[in-house]
Amino acid sequence: MSKFNYTDLSIPALVLLIMGMLVLPLPAFLLDVLFTFNITSAVLIIMIAIGTRKPLDFSSFPSVLLFATMLRLALNVASTRVILVNGHEGHDAAGKVVAAFGEFVIGGNYVVGFIIFAILMVVNFVVVTKGAGRVSEVNARFTLDAMPGKQMSIDADLNAGVIDQETAKRRRAELAQESDFFGSMDGASKFVSGDAIAGLLILIINLIGGLAVGIGQHGLSLSEAGRIYSLLTIGDGLVAQIPSLLLSLATAIVVTRVTTAESMTEQAGSQLGNPSALFVTSSIIAILGMVPGMPHLVFITLAALSAGLGIVALRKQTGLSAPSAAEAAASAALEQPKELEWDDLDQVDLVGLEIGYGLIPLVNPETGGQLMTRVKGVRKKLSAELGFLIQPVRIRDALSIDPDSYHIVLKGVIRGRGKIKVGREMAINPGQVYGVLEGIPTQEPAFGLDAVWIEPSQRDHARTLGYTVVDATTAVATHLNKVLRDNASDLLSHDEVQQLLDKLSAKSPKLVEDLVPGKLSLGVLTRTLQNLLNDSVSIRDMRTIVETLSEVSARTQDPEQLTSMVRPRLGRMIVQGLVDEKNVLSVMTLDPSLEQLLHNVLQQNSQVPGQSVVMEPGLAERLFGALREGAKAVEEQGQSAVLVVSPAIRPWLAKAVRYRVNELMILSYSEIPDDQAVKVIHTVHAEPKTTS
């Protein structure tokens, strides 16, 4: 429950006052107080408008303008009642303020008063109010049109790391407030124009009504009634029209303000104080003053004053542009080329997504862009599957690439490229379709499948033909997911491994304490985990990994051998994603003679320390070709391509085929749990082809 504050009663009290003036008759003394308050409030409002540095500094102005207008109109109604009821008593019937304006301001001449009132009406309604209304309308329209671009700029700065989340939130709030303000000002300007028209109508009603009341009810002559009621009516109109003009001027000042760090006075003073302009003005005024019949003294005086202001402005400008010797030396020192420091070198983003300007609508939430949301979803899904937190993806607009292109960047290096058609959808050919689609032929960026860019209206038709249809955002997110998954080991560094150890240490402190740094260094552990990720093995089960490494670390410190020792302990987790719905693992095997041949090759190469495995080119070509054909045949059967080999050759073969045979998982016999059902569905042969 909010705390009660007496200032909360100010607006209700003002509304009550307005209602009272509309209904209740007011004494002349109270009218004097309210007229004075009306003028004071108008002067206060225009002073605040002049002093604001940007329109949003006076964001309450539309509401203030509404209440000020209603207060003045209610005061007009109250004074009209007093004039019509008590006007026959004399000039003081409506109070001293109305009498002063009626007698002193217009000299007691109602014809002069009416002309002055008409001039004020023309200035207020035709010049100030109409111009302010037009500026308000244009500002509101341009502000709404510019909102998507400004929102996109905020999102781009946030993604680029230029601003933090709090700053982005504050800037979005300011953007929304700016839109609401100029929209409100567009409507508030109608209050001002309506008020000007109401002032003229009230003047006419008062004048006609006063003559009718004075002649018909109080027996006054036409000339006497005209003199009394004309002066009272015009005085009342002037005392209300002057605050109206001030509020109209305040409205124009607010809507024509250009947002700067200076107030209106400071801005105008600095820009109007132009020495050359003042000197030219002085010369022209002096020449006009020499024309016969002109008031020479006035023109010469103003010319001298303009020249004096020009001299002052020139000295001020010269003083600013001619610093002291110490200031000049300091400025020269600052202008010297700055010594290069380490802070001047920007570190590359671990993960980045560069997009052409044509793809910016995919990022902007105001235009329905969902790319940022999809990217966060990819990070969340991959982090859960791989077992460590994927770093944020920095999305940047890049003018150096094609408008419809994007680059996926890892550690400053482009690891994936693609082209997207915004507003279209991608129909992907999964391998068997039943018709041809009209559209722009392309390739699915993640897996290189044939695809067609189609109109959204063709989506249902494409699906009936067997195509897989995705939108542009999904295509980019899928490509990003594959690139990050394929390069997961590059995303894991010492920092992430230390975070994993800290998390495990919260539950098993002794286990972590015994391993690092006592038995293994952090670098060896990191390299071992990277090897597992290279083999598409999740590191979610850190407890099992650390337990295994603690047991085998006494035998070796080699990350490759440690990886081979950890994999069998993770066998059940590795296999679970490869079995079918009947929990059967369908595998490929090598022909026994081929497997023995590979054993012999590895054994011969292992006799020379530091030498890489050398295989006869014809055998290597036949082996990899047979593996590709076997993997394709298995996948066409709807099974995962899994090759099972002996533990001795698995590490080498897995590394050899990693970039030669896509989507082939290589397991060793020791990694398959004893209770796992296995079905051999293909045997790989690599005999040389015979010619007849």
Q: Label residue 143 by pLDDT band (50, 70, 90).
A: low
Mean predicted confidence (pLDDT) in 400-420: 92
Residue 91 has pLDDT above 70, yes or no: no
414: enclosing H helix or E strand: strand 413-419
The SS3 call for residue 679 is strand
At the second CATH level, the architecture of 492-570 is: Orthogonal Bundle (1.10)
Residue 258 has pLDDT above 90, yes or no: no
What percent of the chain shows pLDDT beyond 70? 81
Say if CB 18 and CB 70 are below 8 A apart. yes
Q: What's the pLDDT score for residue 265? A: 62
Q: What's the pLDDT score for residue 4? A: 54
Q: Among 65-69, 326-330, 423-427, 636-640, name the most confident range.
A: 423-427
DSSP type of residue 127 = I
Q: What's the pLDDT score for residue 148? A: 67
Distance (Å, whole) CA 513 – CA 537: 25
Residue 393 has pLDDT above 80, yes or no: yes
Q: What's the pLDDT score for residue 264? A: 57
Say if CB 26 and CB 82 are below 8 A apart. yes
What is the tens place of the pLDDT at every residue in 352-376?
999 998 898 898 877 778 898 899 9
What is the tens place of the pLDDT at every residue in 6-57?
566 777 777 787 777 777 777 877 877 887 888 888 888 888 877 777 777 7
Q: Label residue 1 by pLDDT band (50, 70, 90).
A: very low
Q: Label residue 473 by pLDDT band (50, 70, 90).
A: very high
What is the tens place of the pLDDT at every residue in 656-688?
888 788 778 999 999 999 899 999 999 998 877
Distance (Å, whole) CA 615 – CA 689: 18
Mean predicted confidence (pLDDT) in 490-496: 91
* Fold exhibited by the domain 351-486: Glutaredoxin (3.40.30)
HSE at residue 598, side-chain half, CA atoms within 13 A, is 24
648-652: Cβ within 8 A, 24+ apart: 648/599, 648/602, 649/595, 649/598, 649/599, 649/602, 650/564, 651/560, 651/563, 651/564, 652/602, 652/613
Q: Label residue 478 by pLDDT band (50, 70, 90).
A: very high
Strand partners, 440: 453
Domain range list for the chain = 9-258, 351-486, 492-570, 577-684
Residue 692 has pLDDT above 50, yes or no: no
Distance (Å, whole) CA 149 – CA 384: 35
Distance (Å, whole) CA 559 – CA 533: 13
- Greater confidence (242 vs 452) lies with 452
Q: Label residue 491 by pLDDT band (50, 70, 90).
A: very high
Mean predicted confidence (pLDDT) in 448-462: 92
Say if CB 357 and CB 397 are below 8 A apart. yes
* Fold exhibited by the domain 577-684: Rossmann fold (3.40.50)
Parallel, antiparallel or unpaired: strands 394-397 and 351-355: parallel
Q: Label residue 260 by pLDDT band (50, 70, 90).
A: low
Q: Give whole-number Cα distances, 62 to 76, 187, 231, in Å.
A: 21, 8, 34
Mean predicted confidence (pLDDT) in 181-192: 69
